[in-house]
């Protein structure tokens, strides 16, 4: 079976409103020449362009998907929120959260974005594809049930997971979030649930500044099923792989999921404007390889990537291509044009040792002992 790739032109048409970087225009904030939020269509469009140009898309199962239904959205979001979102969307757009504006038709575009993730997940769970990638936009991992924030309006991954579990296609879902920002929305939705393991690797106190502590472990029956791995700025390639080795893989081995979904942000990359984490395309390739090994051990290779953040138009496509090369096992490769330069800029042994010590401390608090 081939790797699925789910995309839709409508997702490139989502609008960010009158923002300059992450701040509304006005007062002392002058509009940018390009305008809008960093969460712009070109990072995603250029990933699609690159897999077409390299020929990789010919080896993937390219597909669209139906938008999620109102009933699907109600699995996560309350009626009053959906009604207000639809009203504003039909009235020309607006904003009902923090840093999550939308234009006319935003409701339908968000439903399409979530639909791509649901389509990718269902294709894997029903055996239509070996694994799958959803080029979803806008992203979703910050979206709380009734409060959009951080460019996210609907909780794409959570909606897809809830739909799959409701239909009996999965009983235990692991969600790995390697977006550089804490997956506060996904965490909140599943915080008291023992059937969903949520793991977020993120730059400590980047966004949101007040969530993502490793002491936040879940509540009630969900205690122990939420794992935060707040990493120091400048963590780099070695630190991310060490966190996978010391925390992510052991947690997955203990949980034994039916499927792994990745909130696949590329904003921990070395040139991203919203982070300082030093990852490279090779980092994402090797994290993907680690998760593929985990899915082979626990859930017959069932792995789904849902595109989240990543704001370098130049570099996101190379990170995404590396992930898709690994997922598909293709012999088509696109070398990282700045791979050697970025490798040379990685932190040195003293910094790596400091990061390892922090990760070991987190592991001691979040993993079962003995």
Query: Which of the residues are catalytic?
Result: 142
Cis upstream peptide for 138 (omega within 30°): yes
Shortest CA distance to 366 belongs to which of 215, 177, 213? 215
User: Is the distance from CB of 100 to CB of 185 less than 8 angstroms?
Assistant: no
First to last CA, the chain: 40
The SS3 assignment for 23 reads: strand
Q: What is the DSSP string of 44-92?
A: HHHHHHHHHHHTGGGGSEEE--PPPPHHHHHTTS-HHHHHHHHHHHHTT
Provide the CA 29 distance to its chain's centre, in angstroms.
Answer: 29
Q: Strand, coil or helix: what is 367?
A: coil
**And the tokens for 289?**
């390889």
Maximal CA-CA distance, the chain: 58
CA distances from 346 to 178, 288, 360 (A): 19, 20, 20
Distance between CA atoms of residues 289 and 271, nearest Å = 23
Q: Which tokens sit at 77?
A: 């979001």
Which tokens in the block code for residue 41? 């269509």
Look at the chain and count its residues. 370
Quick check: helix, strand or coil at residue 236?
helix
105 phi, psi to nearest 5 deg: 75, 10
Beta-strand ranges (E) seen in the chain are 3-6, 19-20, 23-24, 61-63, 131-134, 173-177, 196-203, 226-231, 259-264, 303-307
Closest alpha carbon to 277 in 327, 222, 210, 347: 347
Q: Calculate the alpha carbon distances from 5 to 30, 100, 129, 331 in Å.
A: 38, 26, 9, 17
Q: Note whether 180 and 202 are within 8 A (CB).
A: yes
């Amino acid at each position: 079976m081939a790797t699925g790739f789910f995309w839709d032109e409508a997702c490139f048409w989502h609008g960010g409103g009158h923002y300059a970087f992450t701040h509304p225009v006005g007062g002392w904030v002058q509009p940018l020449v390009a305008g809008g939020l960093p969460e712009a269509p070109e990072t995603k469009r250029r990933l699609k362009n690159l897999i077409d140009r390299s020929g990789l898309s010919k080896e993937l199962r390219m597909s669209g998907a139906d938008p999620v239904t109102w009933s699907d959205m109600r699995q996560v979001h309350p009626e009053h929120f959906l009604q207000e979102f639809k009203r504003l969307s039909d009235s020309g757009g607006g904003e009902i959260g923090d840093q999550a504006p939308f234009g006319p038709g935003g409701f339908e575009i968000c439903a399409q974005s979530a639909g791509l993730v649901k389509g990718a997940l269902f294709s894997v769970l029903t055996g239509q594809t070996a694994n799958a990638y959803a080029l979803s936009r806008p992203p979703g991992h910050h979206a709380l049930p009734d409060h959009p924030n951080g460019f996210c309006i609907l909780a794409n991954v959570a909606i897809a997971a809830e739909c799959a579990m409701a239909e009996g296609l999965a009983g235990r879902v692991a969600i790995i979030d390697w977006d550089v920002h804490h997956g506060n929305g996904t965490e909140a939705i599943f915080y008291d649930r023992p059937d969903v393991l949520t793991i977020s690797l993120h730059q400590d106190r980047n966004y949101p500044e007040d969530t993502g502590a490793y002491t936040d472990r879940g509540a009630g029956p969900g205690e122990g099923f939420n794992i935060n791995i707040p990493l120091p700025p400048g963590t780099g390639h070695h630190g991310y792989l060490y966190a996978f080795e010391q925390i992510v893989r052991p947690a997955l081995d203990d949980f034994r999921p039916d499927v792994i979904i990745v909130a696949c942000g590329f904003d921990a990359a070395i040139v991203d404007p919203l982070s300082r984490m030093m990852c490279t395309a090779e980092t994402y390739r090797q994290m993907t390889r680690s998760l593929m090994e985990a899915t082979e051990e626990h859930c017959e290779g069932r792995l789904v990537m849902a595109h989240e953040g990543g704001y370098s138009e130049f570099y996101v496509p190379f990170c995404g291509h590396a992930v898709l090369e690994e997922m598909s096992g293709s012999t088509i490769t696109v070398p990282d044009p700045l791979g050697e330069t970025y490798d040379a800029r990685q932190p040195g042994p003293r910094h790596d040792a400091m990061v390892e010590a922090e990760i070991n401390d987190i592991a001691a608090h979040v993993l079962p002992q003995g």
